[in-house]
Structure 1
Amino acid sequence: MQPTSRKIRTFALASALLFGMASHGAMAADSGKITIMVGGITKLIYLPAELTQQLGYFKDEGLDVELLSQPAGVDAENELLAGAVQAVVGFYDHTIDLQTKGKDVKAIVVFGQVPGEVEMVSTKASETLKSMADVKGKTLGVTGLGSSTSFLTQYLAGQHGIPSSQYTMLPVGADASFIAAIKQARIDAGMTTEPTVSKLLATGDAKVLVDMRSVEGTKAALGGTYPASSLYVQSAWADAHKADAAKLAHAFVRTMQFIHTHSAEEIAAKMPADYQKDKALYVSALKASLPMYTSDGKMPADGPATVLKVLSGFNPAIKGKHVDLSKTYTNEFVAAK
Structure 2
Amino acid sequence: MMKKRISILLAAVLMFSALFAGCGNTTNQNSTPSGSSSSTGELQKVVVTEFRGVSWTPMYLAYQLGYYEEEGLDVQLLRIDDGPNCFKSMHTGDSQFCILSQEVSLKAQEQNQRSTVIATMLDTRYYSFVSTSDIEKVEDLKGKTVFASTPGSAPYTFCVAILEEAGLEIGKDVTLVNLNKGAVVAALQKNEIQAAFINADNYKEADEVEGIRYLVDTRRPEDAARYLKSDSFPAEVILCTEAYKNENPEIVQAFVNATCKGLDWLQNHTSQEAAEVLAELFPGMATEDLADKIEIMRGAFSKNGYVSEEGQNAVVDFSKRSGIITSDLSYEDTVDMSFVEKAIENGYAQAN
Q: TM-score range by the shorter chain?
A: 0.7 to 0.9
What are the ranges of 5 or more consecutive residues in structure 1 without an aligned counterpart? none
Q: Corresponding residue for 1:237?
A: 244
Larger radius of gyration: 2
Residues 106 and 235, structure 1, Cα contact 8 Å, conserved in 2? yes
Q: Secondary structure at the match of 2:147?
A: strand
Q: Corresponding residue for 1:35?
A: 47
The within-5 A match list for 1:1-337 is 5-14=5-14, 29=33, 32-38=44-50, 40-41=51-52, 43-121=53-131, 125-127=132-134, 129-165=135-171, 166-174=173-181, 176-204=182-210, 206-213=212-219, 217-224=223-230, 225-273=232-280, 274-275=282-283, 277-315=285-323, 318-319=325-326, 321-337=327-343
Q: Deviations over 1:117-145 (max 9, x none)?
A: 22232xxx321x22334333332213311
Q: Deviations over 1:268-309 (max 9, x none)?
A: 121124457333333222212101111010003322222222
Residue 212 of structure 1 and its aligned partner are, at CA, apart by 2.5
Q: Corresponding residue for 2:22?
A: none
Using structure 2 for the length normalisation, give the TM-score.
0.81
Count of paired positions: 320
Measured in 1, the distance between the counterparts of 2:222 and 2:194 equals 26
| CA distance 1:188–1:231, change in 2 (3 Å) | same
Residue 194 of structure 1 and its aligned partner are, at CA, apart by 1.6
Residues 218 and 224, structure 2, Cα contact 8 Å, conserved in 1? yes
Measured in 1, the distance between the counterparts of 2:336 and 2:317 equals 19
Q: Deviations over 1:220-262 (max 9, x none)?
A: 4321132121101111111111001011111111111111121
| CA distance 1:323–1:192, change in 2 (3 Å) | same
Q: Secondary structure at the match of 1:161?
A: coil
Q: Secondary structure at the match of 1:84?
A: coil
Q: Deviations over 1:78-98 (max 9, x none)?
A: 111211111111112222111
Code of the residue aligned with 1:240 in structure 2: it is: E
Q: Corresponding residue for 2:349?
A: none
Residue 184 of structure 1 and its aligned partner are, at CA, apart by 4.8
Percent of aligned pairs sharing the same letter = 17
Measured in 2, the distance between the counterparts of 1:215 and 1:93 equals 22
**Greater Cα shift, 85-94 or 186-195:** 186-195
Q: Secondary structure at the match of 1:194?
A: coil
Measured in 2, the distance between the counterparts of 1:180 and 1:15 equals 31
Q: Secondary structure at the match of 1:67?
A: strand
Q: Deviations over 1:162-182 (max 9, x none)?
A: 3434323322243x2434543
What are the ranges of 5 or more consecutive residues in structure 2 without an aligned counterpart? 18-25, 36-43, 344-352
Measured in 2, the distance between the counterparts of 1:207 and 1:56 equals 41
Measured in 1, the distance between the counterparts of 2:248 and 2:32 equals 14
Residues 31 and 248, structure 2, Cα contact 8 Å, conserved in 1? no
Q: Deviations over 1:292-331 (max 9, x none)?
A: 111010003322222222221232x523x34233211111
Q: Deviations over 1:13-68 (max 9, x none)?
A: 53698xxxx9xx76995574211011x21x21122232211111111101010012
| CA distance 1:75–1:179, change in 2 (3 Å) | farther
Measured in 2, the distance between the counterparts of 1:231 and 1:26 equals 16
Code of the residue aligned with 2:5 in structure 1: it is: S
